[in-house]
Amino acid sequence: MYTAVSRSVFTSHFWMRGVARIRVSRLSTSAKETPSETDTAVAKEIAGIAECKTPSKETKVEPRLQIVRVYRWNPEKPKVKPYMQQFSIDLNKCGTMVLNVLAFIKAQHDPTLSFRKSCREGVCGCCGMNINGVNTLACVTKVKESPKPLVIYPLPHTYVIRDLIPDMEQFLRQFHKIDQYLKRPGEDDFLGMRQILQSPRDRKKLNGLYECIMCGCCTYSCPPYWWLGDKYLGPAVLLQAYRWVMDSRDMAHEERLLKIRDFYSVYRCHTIFNCTKTCPKGLNPGRAIAQLKCLLAGLTKKEKPDLETAIPNFCQSEEQYLSKKE
C-alpha cells in the first residue's frame, strides 16, 4: 500500500514538472517574433509541393485522338459489300488494349459492331484478329498512339460470319480429328479411378505445347493452309497432335501418327515459320511440326515413360475400391 501511494506521488510530481517545462518552452517559442530558418525552409517546401502537385481544377487533359479503321460486313444486308469503317477515338476515354477500343466503339459509336471476346486476358483464344497486318489477340495487344490509323480485319483467309467474327468450323473439325484427349487402350475399366503417373522430366516435355489456346492466329497466317486448308491440318492442330504424341501418359502414339501419315496432313508445311512469328503466346508450332515429321519418318522415336502406372489396377471397380478403403 505504502509503495503504491509513494509511487503515485512520485509520478504526479514528475508529470507536473514535465508539464511545467513544456509550458515554459511554448511560452519561449511564442515569444520569438521571427520564425527560425528551418521553419521558413519547411514552409517553402510545402508551398512548392502544393504548387507542383495539386492539379488545378481548370486544367484540361488533351484528347489523344486515334483513327481506327474496322472491317465491316453484315450478312443481313447482302447487297452492301464489305467496307472499312473509320472511327476517331479519344484514347483517354478507353482502356489500353485493342479489345478495349473495340468495346468502346461498340458502346459509344456503333452497337452493331461484332467481334468475339471472353476472358480479356489472353486465355480463351477467341479474340484472334488481324491488327495492323499481324494475326494476334486483341485483348493483349496495346494500342500505340500513332498518326497512322489502327487497321483491324478478321483473321485472313477465313469465311466471315459478320464483321470481325471468322468462321472457325473447319479449324475445330480438324482439331477433333487428332483426338485431343488422353488415350490408354484397354484401360477403360479404370477411367477416373487412379492417378496416371508422370515424372517431372516427362512433364517438362510438354512445356511450350500445352500453353496453346487454339486461337488460330498461326493457322491463318500459314500460306499452305490458305491454299489447302481442307486437307492440310495447319500449325495449331499439328502442335496439338505433337503434344498428345509426346505425352508420356498417352499410349496411342503409333495410332496417332498413323492417322496423319498422308500426303497432305503434315507434309504441306514448308517450314516458313510465319506461324511461330505470329503466335501471341510465344510458342513454336513450326518446330513442333518439324519434330512430328522426324517421328513420322522414323528419324526419332518416342521415349519410354520414366514412370509406369501398373496394370491392372489394384481396384477392379469403384465399389471394391470403397470397400477396401473401409
Selected binder of ligand SF4 within 70, 97, 98, 283 (CB under 6 A): 283
Q: How far is the CB of 125 from ligand FES (least distance, A)?
A: 5
Q: Find the shortest distance in angstroms from Cβ 251 to ligand SF4.
A: 25
Q: Which is nearer to ligand SF4, 152 or 217 (CB)?
A: 217
Dist CA 246 CA 185 (whole Å): 16
Residue 151 bridge partners (DSSP): 69
SS3 104: helix
Q: At what angle do helices 234-246 and 169-177 cross, to 10 degrees?
A: 20
Q: How many CB atoms lie within 10 A of CB 284?
A: 19
Position 255, amino acid: E
The answer to whether residue 66 forms part of the interface with ligand SF4 (CB under 6 A) is no
Which of 175, 286, 296, 305 forms a contact with ligand SF4 (CB under 6 A)?
Answer: 286
Copy the grid coordinates of residue 174.
480438324
Q: Which does 126 bind (CB under 5 to 8 A by kind): ligand SF4, ligand FES, none?
A: ligand FES
Q: Select 91 or 295, whichever has its Cβ closest to ligand SF4.
A: 295
Sole binder of ligand SF4 in the list 154, 166, 224, 305 (CB under 6 A)? 224
Cis peptide bond prior to 200, omega within 30° of 0: no
* Rg of the chain, C-alpha, whole Å: 34
216 versus 305: smaller Cβ distance to ligand SF4: 216
Q: Which of 89, 233, 239, 292 binds ligand SF4 (CB under 6 A)?
A: 239
Per CB under 6 A, does 279 bind ligand SF4?
Answer: yes
Three-class secondary structure of residue 2 per DSSP: helix
β-sheet bridge partners, residue 88: 67
The grid coordinates listed for 191 are 477411367
The site partner of 269 among ligand SF4, ligand FES, none (C-beta below 5 to 8 Å per kind) is ligand SF4
Where in the chain does DSSP place strands (E)? 65-72, 83-90, 128-131, 134-137, 150-153, 160-162, 165-166
Binding status of residue 229 toward ligand SF4 by CB under 6 A: no
**Residue 122 binding: pick among ligand FES, ligand SF4, none (C-beta 5-8 Å cut-off by kind):** ligand FES
Answer whether 305's CB lies under 8 Å from 249's CB: yes
Pairing of strands 150-153, 65-72: parallel
Distance in Å, CB of 71 to ligand SF4, minimum: 20
Which residues of the shown chain bind ligand FES in the complex (CB under 6 A)? Answer: 117-120, 122-127, 137, 139
Binds 117, which of ligand FES, ligand SF4, none (CB < 5 to 8 A, cut-off by type)? ligand FES
Minimal distance in Å, beta carbon 179 to ligand SF4?
A: 18
In the complex, which residues of this chain contact ligand SF4 (CB under 6 A)? 212-218, 222, 224, 235-236, 239, 269-275, 279, 281, 283, 285-286, 289
